[in-house]
Amino acid sequence: MKAILNVIWLVLSGFWLALGYVLAGLICCVLIVTIPWGIASFRIAGYALWPFGRTVVDRPGSGAFSVLGNVVWLVFAGWWLALSHIITAIPLFVSIIGIPLGIANLKMIPISLLPLGKDIVSTDTRYPTYRPA
């Protein structure tokens, strides 16, 4: 079931959302100081392409630098990425088949706003735990 949802997701909204994250990541990597945000953006782009079967967990030990980095991300890139999730979720809710996709879109808003200090893990394990990428 996850594979079917992922394919439908990819066609209806995943490709465009991933492009937004890749664009943000490229801009962050061009500006040398913001490379950590670019890496986080590329990681989320992969999640935006194929979200079903994965979840977001807090990374243990992420401290004050993650909080500070998230504030900078929120101001410069996070708000428009979260807005893109809202804009793509609205038409998905119109059809019955799109409702789970719209819900998944809204569940991605927290990581689009505050990506540092988070990891994306597989839900295949019974209890998702921290596994470094």
CA distances from 73 to 82, 97, 105, 124, 131 (A): 12, 33, 19, 30, 24
Domain borders along the chain are 2-122
- pTM of the predicted model as reported, rounded to 2 decimal places: 0.81
pLDDT in tens, the chain (133 residues): 788 888 988 988 889 999 999 999 999 899 888 888 899 899 999 999 988 888 888 887 777 888 888 898 888 888 998 999 999 999 999 988 889 899 999 999 999 998 888 888 888 765 555 555 5
| Backbone Cα Rg of the chain | 15
In the structure encoding, which two tokens stand for residue 36, read together?
């950590």
